[in-house]
A and B are shown apart, each in its own frame.
Chain A
Amino acid sequence: MAITRADVEKVSLLARLQLTGPELETMTSELAQIVTYVDQLGEVDTEGVEPMAHAVEVSNVFAADEVQPSLPREQALANAPRRNERGYLVPPVLGG
């Protein structure tokens, strides 16, 4: 199915990317080309094939239920673009 500019606009919101008008145009044609290429997967008979999520299928890896030291607050906040002494700062979420 052809990918449209409206699809790309919707996906850009889902992906939390802001795209300019020209970027939306280019992205629409590039994605359409790539999606057309990957559509060839439709040719493959996968009836009864179990999806393979990981290359080496390791399951149920348990860690001992022990308290481990966590990252100190100051270190966790050290790379934050905006912060105060206790946490991360974000733009107003309510009533904004």
Chain B
Amino acid sequence: MSLTELSASEALELFVKGEVTSAALTRACLDRIESHDEQVGAFLRVDAEAALARAADIDAQRLAGKPLGRLAGLPVAVKDVLCDRQTRTTCASRMLENFRPPYDSTVVANLKAAGAVLIGRTNMDEFAMGGSTENSAFQLTRNPWDLQRAPGGSSGGAAACVAARMAPLSIGTDTGGSIRQPAGLCGVVGLKPTYGRVSRFGLVAFASSLDQIGPLATNTKDVALLLEAIAGHDPRDATSLNVPVPNYSESIHRPLTGLRLGIVREHFGAGLNEEVEQAVRNALRVYESLGAEVKEISLPHSKYAVATYYVIAPSEASSNLARYDGVHYGHRADQAEVLAELAAEQEQLEATGDQRTLENLDTSLVRMYRRSRAEGFGPEVKRRIMLGAYALSAGYYDAYYLKALKVRRLIRQDFDAAFEQVDLVVGPVTSEPAFKLGEMTDDPLAMYLIDLYTVSANLAGIPGISLPCGFTQSGLPVGLQLQAPPLAEETLLRGAHMYEQATDWHTHKPPALL
């Protein structure tokens, strides 16, 4: 058996027993990347030398009997959106192609402190905007279960590298489903924590009131282990919650008694793929056989979640991405070209006598900003910036942004009411299994509607997990989503683990990559 088939928890046990070294596991992951990532494209960059040196260092520390962190020696892949000091952090954008942050994000610092071996940086939709990873400026990532299909996104590389057994643990981010959706489409486990559970310091911001960082792995126990390592209060993120971090990887073994599950009436209507629905309904029967009570609940405002999200997220994005001005860091248009372009326009306007346009001609500074951003950003990022700038512009603020914030509260109140009756809300992650690469690229709105079941958790700030619950006839994974009240990650993980113990979906591996 290859070492890459080990779960993170199994590998840790073998490290402690002295039967496997971190160097051997890291080497096995690097070999797997070498042999299979040309097909999958999960990684943007892999630093084999640094990873092996780090692994050897951890092994030496272990041999010397030094105290080690909870992830000591485990390879972890990181989505290319979290700052890693002096290491390229591109957000899969031309804008940040050569950006080397001067500091570590808190999550990366926590991973390093826990003894993780940072094995590489994973591909994503540019600035985490998208649901297929096709918006990466650099490369496509393919779904390990069917290489003609998308891995989902925006954490597509993060999910695909775990599904392809290139890394046991992986870090993603989730603003509207970007961990849970690719986890579901790639047949792995992915958890979006409560807003504030994990520090976002050093995470390149997309939509600040929605962004969360979370773990992906092949199984719930590994997800619990990784969450423990990254969660906790951080004074450098004012939205980070100052509450203790439970011992998730220990409590996960305690099944929940008297578990009440709520299925959302509105999620089982038209538009839900039959095979996906069947897999989810089968999962509910598994829960019932484990003693859980399943009851129907209603989230009456859930049908407005995507509309709410596509006002709030782009608005925040347009504001956050204003920082890319070609001055402090990032791409900058060639100054000579900018000045020549302006001079030519001015000359033409003078010749035609178009005084009004001439007076409104960009200054050289403004044109430098505009051209740098036009060259540095891809189409989806531009679309979201434009949408957000429009929603926030004079005359529209009340009708769009303020209205969306009010509907957001109603969405949260729906969940609060639901959690009076049930412990977890359960349902599909996506309405369809993995779609073909290129299938959605010409229809932005259709792509946005993929987020239907996942965006509500971000708007409400609650945690959610996606775990494998079956396959379609054609062999594509189906994900089951569980959602819990704020800070109830323990319940979420225990509930997910119960199901995992009773099924073997999480043990299946992509046949295309054997």
List chain A residues, Cβ under 8 A from B338. Answer: 91
Interface size class on chain B is: 35 or more
Interface flag for A2 (CB, 8 Å): no
A61 with B406: CB separation less than 8 A: no
B102 with A76: CB separation less than 8 A: yes
List chain B residues, Cβ under 8 A from A55. Answer: 195-196, 209-210, 412, 458-462
CA distance A41 to B393 in the complex (A): 18
Given A18-B373, A37-B445, A55-B210, residue A46 in contact with residue B325 (CB < 8 A): no
CA distance A79 to B88 in the complex (A): 11
B371 with A82: CB separation less than 8 A: no
Which residues, 440 to 484 on B, are CB-close (under 8 Å) to A?
444-445, 448, 458-462
List chain A residues, Cβ under 8 A from B369. Answer: 16
List chain A residues, Cβ under 8 A from B322. Answer: 16
CA distance A96 to B362 in the complex (A): 11
A-B contact pairs, 12 of them (CB 8 A): A17-B382, A37-B445, A38-B307, A42-B403, A52-B405, A52-B412, A54-B195, A56-B239, A58-B196, A58-B238, A61-B238, A91-B339
Known: A16-B370, A41-B308. 19 other contacts (CB 8 A): A14-B393, A15-B386, A16-B322, A19-B374, A19-B382, A23-B382, A35-B387, A37-B306, A41-B404, A44-B301, A44-B403, A46-B403, A52-B408, A54-B195, A55-B460, A58-B239, A78-B100, A80-B329, A93-B365
Q: Which residues of A are at the interface with B, using a C-beta cutoff of 8 A?
A: 3, 7-8, 10-19, 23, 27, 30-31, 33-35, 37-38, 40-44, 46, 49-56, 58, 61, 63, 71, 75-76, 78-82, 88, 90-93, 96
Please classify the interface of chain B as helix (H, G, I), strand (E, B), loop, or mixed, using the class held by over half of its residues: helix
CA distance A33 to B442 in the complex (A): 13
Interface flag for B235 (CB, 8 Å): yes
A63 with B307: CB separation less than 8 A: no
CA distance A93 to B404 in the complex (A): 38
List chain B residues, Cβ under 8 A from A19. Answer: 374, 382
A31 with B383: CB separation less than 8 A: yes
List chain B residues, Cβ under 8 A from A14. Answer: 389, 393
A81 with B403: CB separation less than 8 A: no
CA distance A90 to B368 in the complex (A): 9
List chain B residues, Cβ under 8 A from A40. Answer: 304, 307
List chain B residues, Cβ under 8 A from A33. Answer: 444-445
Interface flag for B409 (CB, 8 Å): yes
Name B487's closest neighbour in chain A (CB-CB): A56
Name A58's closest neighbour in chain B (CB-CB): B239
Name A49's closest neighbour in chain B (CB-CB): B406
A34 with B403: CB separation less than 8 A: no
Which residues, 84 to 106 on B, are CB-close (under 8 Å) to A?
98-100, 102-103
CA distance A30 to B406 in the complex (A): 25
Name B237's closest neighbour in chain A (CB-CB): A61
Closest-CB distance, A40 to chain B (whole angstroms): 5
Interface flag for B327 (CB, 8 Å): yes
